[in-house]
Amino acid sequence: MNDMVFATAFYILAGITILSAVGVVFLKNIVHSAFLLALAFFGVAGIYVLLNAEFLAAVQLLVYGGAIAVLIAFGVMLIQRRDMSSSNPDAAWSPLGLGMAVMAMVVFIAAIVLTQFPVTNVAPEFSVEGLARLLLTDYVVAFEAAAVLLLAAMVGAIILAKGAKEA
Amino acid sequence: MLKEYLAISMFFIVALLIPVAVIFISRLVAPKKTTPEKEEVYECGVDTVGDTWIRFKTSYFLYALVFVVFDVETVFLYPWAVQFQQLGTFAFVEMFIFIAILVVGFWYAWKEGALEWK
């Protein structure tokens, strides 16, 4: 019973993810593509939940469903053409894109097939709690370095967007 | 653990169904008499000038950038907030430093007028 609920949830989430990803590629209106991309991110977050990766799911929702989706929506707002469908023209590059996609798929499949996945019967003691303990005790320098990195990213982004002042 | 998510997924399904039902029912019961005036784009009662799809100011993008940085900060805040009471004072000070560093960035954005609307 439990397995069936799990499998149903997985197929629903996988279906949502794949269908919205297909929609991102094939829809004419780039705004619809942007929204479907956000939906695909949500589907992936759901799959993370099924894998018991709660923290990853939260990060997926916050960073991809929140930040990346907002950035893409803003990108669309700023660059769109007057006629929406001409913002998303038929790509003359699609054969090249197909080639790249096939090569990427080959690499991914090869990596998955060739990797030995070690399986243990012991549940990993890795959760949000464990992550917090590690992050705030053993890896505290990396943690604060992340703050500095974010600061640098923000300052750099503002300078890029506004232009640096003459010294 | 997954049982709790079952409740959340129920919540999601209801949240999806309600707007669909609202749109469907209102389409079912609403009168469908159209006049040219009704077909026009609504813009605060004034006739629309030009395209309805307009380009937006780049100021929006700066807001988005600042938002993204603080959104990523939330990712770090989340594990700390879960374990806040067990981790004690040291973690509290660490998080304080973390936020202080990011507030410097916020101050910079403010100083540079990234949050101003011109």
Contact A71 B53 (CB under 8 A): no
Determine contact: A106 vs chain B, CB below 8 A: no
Predicted pLDDT of residue B115: 76
Domain boundary among A67, A89, A111: A89
Confidence (pLDDT) at A165: 63
Residues of B in contact with A128 (CB under 8 A): 78-79, 82-83
CA distances from A27 to A13, A14, A19, A143, B85 (A): 20, 19, 11, 41, 48
Please indicate if any CB of chain A lies within 8 Å of the CB of B55: yes
Is there a single domain that holds both residue A83 and residue A8?
A: yes
Provide the number of structural domains found in chain A. Answer: 2
- Tens of pLDDT, residue by residue over B58-84, are 777 788 888 888 888 888 888 888 888
pLDDT band at A85 (very low <50, low <70, confident <90, very high): low
Q: Which residue among B78, B83, B109 sits closest to A154, beta carbon to beta carbon?
A: B109
Model pLDDT, residue A88:
57
Q: Which percentage of chain B shows pLDDT scores above 90?
A: 13
Closest Cα partner for B62 from A63, A78, A69, A149?
A: A78
Section A83-112 average pLDDT: 82
Lowest mean pLDDT among A83-97, A125-139, B14-28, B90-104: A83-97
Please indicate, yes or no, whether residues A5 and A82 belong to a single structural domain of this protein.
Answer: yes
Q: Is the pLDDT of residue B18 over 90?
A: yes
A157: Cα separation from own chain's centroid: 21
Residue A64: domain span: 1-89
Which chain A residues touch B51 with a CB distance below 8 Å? Answer: 82
Instruction: Answer yes or no: do B87 and A59 touch at CB < 8 A.
Output: no
Per-residue pLDDT, A4: 85
Has residue B20 got a pLDDT over 80?
A: yes
Residue B98: other Cβ atoms inside 10 A: 22
- 10 Å Cβ neighbour count for B106? 17
Residue A78 shares a structural domain with residue A137: no
CB < 8 Å to A78, chain B: 55-56, 58, 60-61
A94 domain-assigned: no
Q: E strands of A25-119, at which residues?
A: none
Record: contact B1-A84, CB cut-off 8 A:
no
The predicted structure's pLDDT at residue A37: 93
Segment A65-78 mean pLDDT: 85
Whether pLDDT at B104 is above 80: yes
Give A83→chain B minimum CA distance, Å. 8
In whole angstroms, what separates CA A135 from the centre of its chain? 22
Return the residue matching tokens 């097939």: A113
Per-residue pLDDT at A111 exceeds 90: yes
Taking the C-alpha atoms of residue A154 and residue B114, their distance in angstroms, rounded to an integer, is: 11
CA A120, A128, A130 angle in degrees (round to 5)? 65
pLDDT at A110: 95
pLDDT at B30: 86
- A155/B108 Cβ within 8 A: yes
Q: Does B93 touch chain A (CB under 8 A)?
A: no
State the Cα–Cα distance between residues B60 and A75, nearest whole angstrom. 10
pLDDT exceeds 80 at position A15: yes
pLDDT at A83: 62
Contacts of B98 (CB under 8 A, 6+ apart): A143, A144, A146, A147, B73, B76
Check whether residue A73 and residue A1 sit in a common domain.
Answer: yes
Last residue of a domain, one of A66, A89, A112: A89
Q: Write the CA distances from B79 to A59, A131, B67, B70, integer angstroms.
A: 11, 7, 20, 15
Q: Which residue of A84, A129, A158 is in closest CB contact with B53?
A: A84
Structure tokens at B96: 């304080």
Cβ-Cβ pairs closer than 8 A, A with B, add up to 137
ipTM of the modeled complex = 0.71
On average, the pLDDT of chain A sits at: 84
For B79, which of A52, A131, A146 is closest by C-beta distance? A131
Q: How confident is the model at residue A82 (pLDDT cuts 50, 70, 90)?
A: low
The mean pLDDT value for A17-28 works out to 90
Confidence (pLDDT) at B85: 81
Residue A101 lies in a domain: no
CB contact under 8 A, B72 and A129: no
**A2 and A81 co-located in one domain:** yes
- Are A79 and A36 in a shared domain? yes
Q: Read off the CATH number of the domain in which A1 is found.
A: 1.20.120.1200
pLDDT-derived band of residue A140, with 50, 70 and 90 as boundaries? Answer: confident
pLDDT score of B33: 82
